[in-house]
């Protein structure tokens, strides 16, 4: 299944994408794409619904029908740093022996095609296309061989980062990761059963038509199951929690000289099987 949230900001409704790429309304069945609806039992109930029996929503998604972040009520937005060996090299940093965990404040979450408001004093706002994990059944101290069963699905995330704030403002990456709009999620949540191998997905990002990132999840240092198991040692994961799993090389900071976003520029990014995003810096 491909689950979506559609409508104006702040009043999104739950839906699913049918076989023709049109949105079907799920409001009669779930309050939102959140919480219990993302557990194994919740997803099983949604799979049992015939999409043709659901009301068809007017408009074409991502054209004349706005999509919001594909998950609502996110309690934790975690992320993993330097999880691609080739990205660590371009950042002049060592490949970590354990996953580097940090947080993106949930107030940064945005729709996949919403404008990106650059902070007024931003000097180094950067892009990072990433595979996102959405937690289904929660838990703590999840065993590695059980971790896959705790993943509801996957999505595209742009882990937008202000590098000056992240690296030069007295510690903690979080300062550069959580500004408003710095966490576009979606366009849809693709349930895990539709992704044969999350470590064999091509992911890419362009700015004004120039391809900067073009990589594969095959080069991740730690895979989704390892990340879920590891993170659950330090925090109890809950349904709807989101984890960004790191980015391949090609970020602005890694260019020579570095290249950062300017107002008016447009990012396009995507992952095989998970859809595409588009953000304009304003």
**Interval 173-206: pLDDT, tens:** 899 999 999 999 999 999 999 999 999 999 999 9
As a whole number, mean pLDDT of residues 40-46 equals 98
Q: What does the alpha-carbon distance between residue 193 and residue 2 come to, in Å, rounded to a whole number?
A: 11
Q: What does the alpha-carbon distance between residue 204 and residue 272 come to, in Å, rounded to a whole number?
A: 9
Residues near 144 by beta carbon (within 8 Å), at least 6 away in sequence = 225, 226, 229
Model confidence at 103: pLDDT above 90: yes
Residues near 195 by beta carbon (within 8 Å), at least 6 away in sequence = 153, 154, 201, 273, 274
As a whole number, mean pLDDT of residues 45-59 equals 98
Do 201 and 272 form a contact (C-beta atoms < 8 A)?
Answer: yes
List Cα–Cα distances, 274 to 104, 164, 185, in angstroms. Answer: 21, 30, 11
Does the residue 112 lie in any domain?
yes
Do 166 and 260 form a contact (C-beta atoms < 8 A)?
Answer: no
List Cα–Cα distances, 106 to 76, 110, 120, 121, 181, in angstroms. Answer: 7, 9, 20, 21, 10
pLDDT at 95 (0 to 100): 83
Does the residue 56 lie in any domain?
no
CATH number at residue 109: 3.90.850.10
Counting the structural domains of the chain, the total is 1
Pairing assessment for the beta strands 125-126 and 129-135 based on DSSP bridges: unpaired
Does the residue 134 lie in any domain?
yes
pLDDT at 87 (0 to 100): 78
Model confidence at 92: pLDDT above 80: no
Model confidence at 90: pLDDT above 90: no
Q: Report the predicted TM-score, pTM, of the whole model to 2 decimal places.
A: 0.96
Residue 133 pLDDT level (bands cut at 50, 70, 90): very high
Share of the chain above pLDDT 70, in %: 100
Range of the structural domain that residue 167 is part of: 69-280
Model confidence at 93: pLDDT above 80: no
């Amino acid at each position: 299944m491909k689950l979506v949230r559609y409508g104006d900001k702040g009043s999104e409704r739950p839906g699913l994408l049918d076989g023709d790429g049109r949105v079907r309304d799920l409001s009669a069945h779930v309050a939102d794409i959140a919480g219990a609806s993302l557990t194994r039992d919740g997803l099983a109930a949604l799979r049992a619904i015939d999409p043709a029996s659901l009301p068809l929503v007017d408009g074409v998604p991502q054209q004349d029908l706005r999509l919001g972040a594909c998950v609502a009520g996110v309690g934790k937005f975690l992320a993993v740093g330097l999880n691609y060996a080739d990205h660590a090299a371009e950042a002049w940093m060592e490949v970590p022996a354990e996953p580097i965990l940090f947080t993106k404040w949930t107030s940064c979450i945005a729709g996949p095609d919403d404008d990106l408001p650059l902070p007024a004093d931003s000097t180094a706002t950067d892009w990072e296309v990433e595979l996102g994990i959405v937690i289904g059944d929660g838990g703590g101290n999840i065993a590695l061989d059980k971790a896959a069963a705790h993943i509801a699905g996957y999505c595209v995330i742009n882990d937008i980062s202000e590098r000056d704030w992240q690296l030069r403002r007295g510690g903690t990456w979080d300062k550069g990761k959580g500004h408003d709009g710095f966490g576009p999620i979606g366009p849809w949540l693709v349930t895990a059963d539709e992704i044969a191998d999350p470590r064999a997905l091509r992911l890419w990002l362009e700015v004004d038509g120039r391809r900067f990132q073009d990589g594969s999840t095959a080069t991740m240092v730690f895979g989704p199951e390892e990340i879920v198991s590891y993170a659950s040692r330090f925090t109890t994961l809950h349904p709807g929690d989101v984890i960004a799993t790191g980015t391949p090389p090609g970020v602005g900071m890694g260019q020579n000289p570095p290249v950062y976003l300017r107002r008016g520029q447009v990012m396009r990014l995507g992952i095989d099987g998970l859809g595409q995003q588009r953000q304009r810096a304003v």
